[in-house]
Amino acid sequence: MATTTDEVLQHEFVNVNGIRMHYVTMGNGPLIVFLHGFPEFWYSWRHQIPFFSKHFKVVVPDMRGYGETERPTEINEYRIEKLVTDIVELIYSLGREKATIVGHDWGGAIAWSIAIMAPGIVEKLIIMDAPHPAVFQRNAFRNYEQMQKSWYIFFFLLQNVPESMLSRNNFELLKYVFEISIKRKKKFTQRDIEGYVSSWRKEGGITGGINYYRSNLNAEFWGSLDQSIPFPKIKSPTLQIWGEEDLFLGEELTEGTNEFVDAPFSLKIIPNCGHWIQQEAPEEVNQIIEEFLDYDLNKN
């Protein structure tokens, strides 16, 4: 899993919000933080770290419950408020007051939540294949096609059964689902896949990620779908990037996102690309982000 720039890629640990968090960092300059999703770890950003370290201090944590970061056993330890506080305290621990936040999948959900709950810390916001929470709620029980794609959410709410099934035969099922959802298969090597498997094998290595679903998409959440939640509008310049062939999240989950952003907003759809967008289309993703950051800097 080594990159060609391992000699300058630093592994660090910090105590934040009651846990010991592992992160990798490279470069100097304005802070940009990349947040991974399920079922990954910092390695999912391997194509972005060296690229953006030329102009930024890149920081990529293993999120709570993943990789070398601590994995609390209590489900309530994975509430979205705690996940947000983890990253806010990480940024402050680095001596910074603001950062550009980039998130994919669950990392994207957390990035949206940071911009909602701690807006002052977000310089710019970049979201990949993660709907705004209001858009997700709007589609949850009204979009039959998306309900079919989201079957796994309900499966993950069960206790112990998901871990047992996903870990069977050296995570054969999880590897299968991971691999069939990759559209640009040449961008992943067997070594990449085995790198994820080695992370899943750690004690509690898959439970932490599943607990994100159990803690936040539970009966309380589904019971509140008929209620209108007044989300405050995002005040930071926002970029949303989406893989057109995402197996889990339909492109329609981008519709209406601009309603919830009171700042410059842009949406980029990458064709012939699946859910694992920053790994399947690294060159396109990096260029889109670079242009967005340059655009915003020029506007200032």
Query: Mind telling me the catalytic residues?
Result: 105, 213, 275
Q: Do 57 and 33 touch, CB atoms closer than 8 A?
A: no
Enter the tokens of residue 259: 């309603």
Phi, psi dihedrals of residue 102, rounded to the nearest 5°: -120, 130
Spatial separation of the C-alpha atoms in residues 123 and 132, rounded to whole Å: 18
Q: Do 35 and 102 touch, CB atoms closer than 8 A?
A: yes
Spatial separation of the C-alpha atoms in residues 299 and 2, rounded to whole Å: 37
* 76-to-36, 81, 86, 97, 151 alpha-carbon distances in Å: 20, 10, 14, 28, 22
Q: Are strands 238-243 and 99-104 parallel, antiparallel or unpaired?
A: unpaired
Helices 207-216/161-180 angle, 10° precision: 100
Nearest to 124 by CA among 268, 265, 280: 265
